[in-house]
Amino acid sequence: MKIRTLIVDDEPHAIEIISSYLQNFSDVEVAGKCGNAMQAFQILQQKPVDLMFLDIKMPGLNGTDFLRSLKNRPKTIFTTAYSEYALEGFELDAVDYLLKPISFDRFLRAMDKVYQLYDNRATTRLSHETPIGDQEAFLYIKVDRKTIKLNINAILWIESIRDYVKVITADQVYISKQKISFLEEMLPDRYFVRIHRSFIVSLSKINSFYAYSLEVNGHELPIGRNYKQDVQKKLKAEQLFF
Per-residue pLDDT for the chain (242 aa), expressed as one digit of tens each?
Answer: 689 999 999 999 999 999 999 998 888 999 999 999 999 999 999 999 999 999 999 999 999 999 999 988 999 999 999 888 888 888 898 999 999 999 998 998 898 888 878 765 555 555 444 333 444 577 778 887 777 888 889 999 999 987 789 999 998 999 888 888 888 877 888 889 999 999 999 999 999 888 889 999 999 999 999 999 889 888 876 654 44
28-34/3-8 β-pairing = parallel
Give start and end residues of each alpha helix (H) in the chain.
12-22, 37-46, 63-69, 86-91, 104-123, 180-186, 228-237
DSSP run (H or E) holding 171:
none
**Half-sphere exposure at residue 137, Cβ-oriented, CA atoms within 13 angstroms:** 15
The span from the CA of 223 to the CA of 79, in Å, is 40
